[in-house]
């Protein structure tokens, strides 16, 4: 059982890395890729078994993207489905004893959140150009302050929400393991079950919020065009 | 616990790699398959629509042809009836004419025969009369009286004997 809050670090090329987070990230990546490969192996025009499930997810995602972003959003579908699967796998890994979620490290969540927000601004500039910048100064230029705070708050809230939920869940698991005698497993089991729920919900929330932010930048705005 | 270091860069990189791999391995084939399937369904539906339309067209065509054929058959039958009646009438008329002609011929022949028989008989009667007259003459040489007798005899013959032969 690792010490809470203390991270093993290594130095590589003068940079410091949290090695456990990286290992767990790679594990999550491998799990995600393996699941994806298994699910999409042997694709047929008439679907069966796993393929149905994967198609269902992608169809649902496509409909969400179409509704939120319009046709331009389709190219972002792999990013969003990847984000969701990676977060789900990452969150759930932490519930396995002796393992930790990559998402219990702020580096992971903030990295993903920054990636999303940077992508939002880049796509907004690419698709809308001057309108995108102008829209921060509306309805009056004074609003730029509020808008800036909002834009800065986006990645921070996104990152800390996920980070806090997952880390808290893992901490409580460790605490419960130490606190409760082994013959009294009900609180731990209950918390584990709740953690599974939380893991799924947080993955969904992060993904949906990312989609909403991206949609803002990508959606064809009839008023502006 | 909340220290940010180079891991953030590594995580961004990791995630981008994951997205690229996922896109290549899983997303693209599935999306392509979905597209293929929707294309196939659309094509099938369009094909079915076209087939149905073609079938309906063929049916209408066939119905029209059938009606046409029935009309033609009706016309042919009527025409045949008319022709047959005409031919029948013509044949009947022809036959009647033929019969008429034959009747006339027969009557003419009968007339001829009767005339001939009458003439023959007349000449025989004359001969017989002459023979009878000769016998009378041989006994009685008063020719004037005789001629008168003979002529009387012949005219009586004409009147009495041939009255029913006319």
- ipTM value: 0.77
Rg of chain B on CA atoms, in Å: 62
pLDDT, mean of residues A105-120: 86
* pLDDT-based confidence at residue A222 (cuts at 50, 70, 90): low
Distance CA A5, CA A2 (A): 9
* pLDDT-based confidence at residue A225 (cuts at 50, 70, 90): very low
Contacts of A79 in chain B (CB under 8 A): 19
A36 with B15: Cβ contact below 8 A: no
Q: pLDDT digits over A147-166, tens only? A: 888 888 888 898 888 888 88
A82 with B23: Cβ contact below 8 A: yes
Contacts of A105 in chain B (CB under 8 A): 7, 11
Q: Who's near A224: CB < 8 A, 6+ residues apart?
A: A128, A131, A135
Q: Is the pLDDT of residue A1 over 60?
A: no
With 0-12 / 13-18 / 19 or more C-beta atoms within 10 angstroms meaning exposed / middle / buried, residue B73 is exposed
* pLDDT-based confidence at residue A224 (cuts at 50, 70, 90): very low
Distance CA A180, CA A186 (A): 9
Q: How far is B49 from chain A (nearest CA, A)?
A: 22
Contacts of A33 in chain B (CB under 8 A): 18, 21-22, 25-26
Distance CA A156, CA A30 (A): 27
Contacts of A115 in chain B (CB under 8 A): 12, 15-16
The larger pLDDT score, comparing residue A219 to residue A197, is at A197
Query: Hey, how many other C-beta atoms are within 10 angstroms of the C-beta on A143?
Result: 14
B22 with A83: Cβ contact below 8 A: no
Q: pLDDT digits over A48-82, tens only? A: 777 777 778 778 877 887 787 776 777 777 888 88
Angle at A152 between CA A163 and CA A24, to 5 degrees: 25
Question: What does the pLDDT read at residue B60?
Answer: 95
Interface mutation target, options B15, B29, B39, B40, chain A, most CBs of A under 10 Å: B15
Q: Write down the H helix ranges in A70-185.
A: 77-93, 106-128, 130-134, 143-179
Distance CA A123, CA A121 (A): 5
A25 with B14: Cβ contact below 8 A: yes
Distance CA A15, CA A11 (A): 5
Angle at B63 between CA B57 and CA B65, to 5 degrees: 100
Nearest CA in chain A to B24: A78
- Check if the beta carbon of residue A119 is closer than 8 Å to that of residue A214: yes
**Residue A12 backbone dihedrals phi, psi, to 5 degrees:** -140, 120
- Check if the beta carbon of residue A62 is closer than 8 Å to that of residue B38: no
Mean pLDDT, chain A, whole residue set: 79
Nearest residue to A120 via CA among A150, A90, A98? A150
Mean pLDDT (10-residue bins), chain B, 166 residues: 73 84 79 83 94 95 95 95 94 94 93 89 84 74 70 71 56
Q: pLDDT digits over A187-213, tens only? A: 778 888 888 888 888 888 888 888 888
* pLDDT-based confidence at residue A6 (cuts at 50, 70, 90): low
Nearest CA in chain B to A78: B23
Distance, first Cα to last Cα, chain B: 163
Q: How far is B12 from chain A (nearest CA, A)?
A: 5
Question: What does the pLDDT read at residue A220?
Answer: 66
A45 with B14: Cβ contact below 8 A: no
Eight-class DSSP state of A24? H
pLDDT, mean of residues A95-103: 78
B23 with A78: Cβ contact below 8 A: yes
Q: Who's near A181: CB < 8 A, 6+ residues apart?
A: none
């Amino acid at each position: 059982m690792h010490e809470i809050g203390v991270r093993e670090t290594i130095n590589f090329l003068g940079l410091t890395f949290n090695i456990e987070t990286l290992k767990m990230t790679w594990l999550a990546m491998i799990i995600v890729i393996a699941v994806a490969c298994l699910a999409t192996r042997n694709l047929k025009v008439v679907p069966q078994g796993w393929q149905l499930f994967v198609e269902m997810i992608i169809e649902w995602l496509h409909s969400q993207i179409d509704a939120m972003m319009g046709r331009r959003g389709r190219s972002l579908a792999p990013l969003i489905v990847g984000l969701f699967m990676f977060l789900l796998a990452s969150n759930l890994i932490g519930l396995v004893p002796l393992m930790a979620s990559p998402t219990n490290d702020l580096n992971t969540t903030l990295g993903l959140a920054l990636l999303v927000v940077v992508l939002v601004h880049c796509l907004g500039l690419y698709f809308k150009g001057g309108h995108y910048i102008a829209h921060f100064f509306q309805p009056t230029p004074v609003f730029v302050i509020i808008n800036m705070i909002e834009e800065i708050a986006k990645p921070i809230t996104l990152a800390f929400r996920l980070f806090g939920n997952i880390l808290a869940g893992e901490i409580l698991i460790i605490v419960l393991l130490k606190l409760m005698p082994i013959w009294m497993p009900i609180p731990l089991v209950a918390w584990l079950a709740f953690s599974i729920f939380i893991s799924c919900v947080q993955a969904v929330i992060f993904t949906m919020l990312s989609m909403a932010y991206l949609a803002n930048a990508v959606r064809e705005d009839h008023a502006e065009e | 616990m909340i220290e940010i270091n180079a891991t953030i860069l590594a995580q961004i990189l990791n995630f981008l790699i994951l997205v690229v791999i996922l896109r290549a391995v899983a997303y693209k084939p599935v999306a392509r398959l979905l597209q293929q399937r929707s294309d196939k369904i659309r094509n099938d539906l369009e094909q079915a629509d076209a087939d149905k339309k073609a079938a309906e067209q063929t049916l209408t065509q066939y119905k029209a042809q059938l009606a046409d054929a029935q009309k033609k058959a009706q016309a042919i039958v009527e025409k045949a009836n008319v022709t047959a009646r005409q031919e029948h009438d013509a044949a009947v008329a022809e036959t009647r004419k033929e019969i008429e002609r034959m009747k006339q011929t027969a009557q003419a022949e009968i007339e001829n025969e009767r005339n001939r028989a009458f003439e023959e008989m007349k000449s025989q009667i004359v001969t017989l009369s002459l023979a009878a007259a000769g016998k009378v003459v041989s006994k009685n040489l008063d020719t004037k009286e005789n001629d008168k007798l003979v002529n009387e005899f012949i005219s009586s013959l004409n009147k009495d004997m041939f009255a029913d032969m006319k």
